[in-house]
Amino acid sequence: MEKLIDEKYWQRKLTRLKSTLEKNNFEVYLVQNAAEAKAVVLKEIIPKTGARRISMGDSLTAVNSGLFVDIKNQPGLEFLDTFEPGIPIMEALERRRQALLMDLFITGTNAVTEKGQLVNLDMVGNRVAAVTFGPRHVVILMGRNKMTPDLESAMERVRSYSAPVNAIRHHVDHPELDPPCVETGVCSNCRNPMRICNTWTITEKSFPPGRIKIVLINEDLGL
């Protein structure tokens, strides 16, 4: 019973957010889980855009749903993997540059406000660059846990939670990435050369209208 009420609560909040985001010129899809999100991208968004060359920014939701694997295996699509395990760092950076010229770029967002603003903080900047300009279309997969009331709480969420947790996550595969929050779990606004917090963006609206497509998911997903 509680689960049902909780789902209804989130469905109402997400329906309101969808309408707000649409007024900000985003194209919005509302789905119930990660599997549905994957199906929307593969069966609706990719065919509708005609995208053939696709790349990605960091998105746990896209990885965990198997979306990138399905795109890689789909005949007729070319997938540029910018996070392929084991590739040299210079190759990874070059792929991230090339990803800015793709037909479609898939990623996540650190937070979204109830006013429909996307709030992100990047280390390298490839993700926020692509969301802002470059790829012809952008798809953002977003779990309901990314919603915050306003800009201040969005930035607080990113500083106090997303950034330290992402630093800990990336440290596992890249031990050289070792800002102090990897040990403490707390942001100290460090000056570490491997600091993962370098560029903030606030995306108020999609330009051109509809370029940024947001898939809202009625589940807690991602960081």
Nearer residue to ligand SF4 within complex by CB, 34 or 187: 187
Q: Dihedral of CA 160/12/218/73: which sign?
A: negative
The DSSP bridge partners found for residue 217 are: 31, 143
Nearer residue to ligand SF4 within complex by CB, 60 or 80: 60
The answer to whether the beta carbons of residues 214 and 29 sit under 8 Å apart is yes
Rounded distance between C-alpha atoms, residue 10 and residue 29, angstroms? 15
| Choice from 188, 199, 204, 220 touching ligand SF4 (CB under 6 A) | 188
| Choice from 197, 212, 216, 223 touching ligand SF4 (CB under 6 A) | 197
DSSP E strand boundaries for the chain: 27-31, 53-56, 78-80, 104-108, 111-113, 118-122, 137-143, 147-148, 199-203, 212-217
Rounded distance between C-alpha atoms, residue 145 and residue 162, angstroms? 11
The amino acid at residue 42 is L
Nearer residue to ligand SF4 within complex by CB, 180 or 210: 180
| Choice from 196, 212, 221, 223 touching ligand SF4 (CB under 6 A) | 196
Min dist. Cβ of residue 25 to ligand SF4 (A): 31
Min dist. Cβ of residue 14 to ligand SF4 (A): 28
Stretch 147-186 residues interacting with ligand SF4 (CB under 6 A): 163-164, 167, 179-181
Residue 189 within binding range of ligand SF4, rule CB under 6 A: yes
Catalog residues that contact ligand SF4 under the rule CB under 6 A: 163-164, 167, 179-181, 187-190, 192, 195-197
